[in-house]
Copies of this chain bind each other. A is one copy, B any other.
């Protein structure tokens, strides 16, 4: 595996600032998580932006597209807010010859019991086995990008 990781923000990276009684998107957590999990493969991490995915602009998505297309890696993992994840993924469909998996978390990685580590694991496992294309790994499932939606009320991803 020759993996490049692009971080964009989202719930997975949210931390809590007592000073402001507020949370904010913090530093990308994925590098530290992979390290602590004993991951033994080489990877690079690039922080594209730190945003809630509802705040992503067309320019942001164009930037993510460029970073994913131009990187030398065949496998690309994108950590992303969940609300705009499908939309970003759909815009990456025209990238050929790469396996791209988007993932994130419904609870910040800093929380006890967060789904962040599990989702990243699913994405990493899928990246090593899936054909080129764009996928979302959430709720333990690997979805092709044009066959998935976020069910906002139920707060989970499901096949369409």
Contact = CB atoms under 8 A, between A and B. Distances in A.
A148 to B, nearest CB: 11
Nearest to A128: B142
Nearest to A125: B125
A38 B140 contact: yes
Contacts of A115: 37-38
A79 interface: no
A141 B122 contact: no
Q: How many copies does the complex hold?
A: 4
Contacts of A156: 38, 40
A124 B124 contact: no
A74 interface: no
A152 B14 contact: no
A18 B129 contact: no
A40 B126 CA distance: 17
Interface in A1-40: 1, 11, 14, 16, 18-19, 21-23, 33-34, 36-40
A21 B11 contact: yes
Contacts of A107: 16, 18
Nearest to A23: B23
B110 A111 contact: yes
A152 B19 contact: yes
Interface-central residue, A18, A39, A156, by most chain B CB under 10 Å: A18
A88 interface: no
29 contacts: A1-B141, A11-B21, A16-B111, A18-B107, A19-B155, A21-B52, A21-B81, A21-B83, A23-B23, A33-B118, A34-B140, A37-B118, A38-B106, A38-B139, A38-B156, A40-B158, A41-B139, A41-B140, A110-B111, A111-B111, A117-B117, A118-B118, A118-B120, A119-B121, A121-B121, A121-B123, A121-B125, A125-B126, A129-B130
